[in-house]
Amino acid sequence: MIGLNIVYEKDELLYSMNLSSKVNDNYSFDYFDFDNQSIDDFIDYLEFLEFEKYIFVALHEKNRLQRLADYLQENLECMINVVDFSALKELLSNQEIENLQAALEEDSFYQKTIALNTKDVFQNGFKAFRTGLYPHLTKGLLKHVSVDNLDCFLEKNQDLLRHFAINSAIYSDISSRENPLPVIIKSLSDFDTETFVKINAESLQRHMDHFVATGEIKIESNILDYGYLAGLAQFHSLIFENEQFYLDSAQRCPIGQSGDGYYKLFNEASLKLSAQDKVTARDEVNYLFPILVSIHQVYRDVNFITPYNAYHLKSIEEKTQSLNWIAFQNNTDSFVFNIQTGRLFKVNHLVIEKFEYIIKNKVSEPADQEMKQVREMLQTYG
């Protein structure tokens, strides 16, 4: 059996298309999640499936796709090839190619991918790296490493690359070579417009306590190493400086030396994370706080209304299952914001008043007409 993986590459980001188009029995369309699986995962996956040949079909660019294929070929016995989409006429019938083209045109993920703003993707990745916040990733999947010297890093640490997600990046400004690697290399200078404030756990605790007591945020920038300080870090990024590995950008947490293997670094990071001093805020506040900081950066002088802070009503003590909505006000406007969908609605003061009763489970039944309307609005849009 020959595997066919249809891949769209854009600015070195790779996206595999999960298509159900039928082909003859000699071939099988394959899919792999390049964002959430490592190179090592891919090697194990291909070894398990025992394809006699594996072909990446490039829909657009193929520079990095070829580098990935070359790296996989060095570690696998089956033949790995990269071909352009036009080369499928040598493998499939005209009808099969037409069916595949139709499946692509109807595929929402493909349409979303071709419209992707890669600058935003890289900017979001850098923000995740500096804040240490990586939602929904498997523990130990490496996404980013910042190195002071790429050549020095690669001299003893090439094996670490197998444990990086396929869509991952090395940040470096000092390199003497072209990029032969399966991962992306980005310059730190590409992200110099993003600012991060360096604080310690004690300072973060005071800011969180102030938010819980007042609904106010006093931090003006993204928080460097927030995931580490809040106890949310899961070994997704590394700092390599002077042949030393650190878990955080501020280099407070050394975890190993150049040449240490992945599992040694992973185990040391786990030990350091379990023993570190961290903030004592409730879990819901830990996860919500960086979102509030980002909103505050845009709207300024904001008062937030969430279940976890005092406003006109006290915060609630019971654990909430899934928070969809928060509200906030500044000097001129009031808003409700769905943190799951990112939808933002400008509202009046009456909605904010009723919202706080709803979000804190303080509605007296039977609810008045205005309360019912606000509750229905939240259910309709959230």
**Which pair of tokens denotes residue 363?**
């509605």
Q: In terms of Cα–Cα distance, which of 271, 268, 261, 355 is closest to 307?
A: 355
pLDDT, residue 247, reads 96
Domain residue limits, the chain: 2-114, 117-281, 301-381
Distance (Å, whole) CA 16 – CA 32: 6
- 248, 239 contact by CB (below 8 A): yes
Q: Give pLDDT, residue 281.
A: 84
| 314 contact partners, CB below 8 Å, separation of at least 6 | 360
Cite the beta strand spans of 230-378 per DSSP E.
237-241, 244-246, 254-257, 303-305, 325-329, 334-338, 344-347
Between CA 281 and CA 286 the distance in angstroms is: 6
pLDDT at 14: 98
- pLDDT value for 136: 86
State the Cα–Cα distance between residues 311 and 308, nearest whole angstrom.
10
pLDDT for 327:
96
Q: Rounded to the nearest 5°, which phi and psi values hold at 2?
A: -110, 125
Closest Cα partner for 162 from 63, 261, 250?
A: 261
> What are the angstrom distances between the C-alpha of 81 and each of 55, 87, 131?
5, 12, 38
Q: Which residues pair with 2 in a beta bridge?
A: 27, 53
pTM, to two decimals: 0.90
Q: At what angle do helices 349-359 and 369-381 cross, to 10 degrees?
A: 80
Q: Are strands 53-58 and 2-10 parallel, antiparallel or unpaired?
A: parallel
Question: How would you write the pLDDT of the chain (382 residues) with one tens digit per residue?
Answer: 899 999 999 999 999 999 887 777 889 899 999 999 999 999 999 999 999 999 999 999 999 999 999 999 999 999 999 999 999 999 999 999 999 999 999 999 999 999 999 999 999 999 999 999 998 899 999 999 999 999 999 999 999 999 999 999 999 986 556 778 899 999 988 887 788 999 999 999 999 999 999 999 999 899 999 999 999 999 999 999 999 999 999 999 999 999 999 999 999 999 999 888 788 888 899 999 999 999 999 999 899 999 999 999 999 988 777 789 999 999 899 999 999 999 999 999 999 999 999 999 888 777 788 888 888 888 888 7
**Spatial distance between the Cα atoms of 340 and 54, rounded to a whole number of angstroms:** 38
pLDDT of 22 reads 77
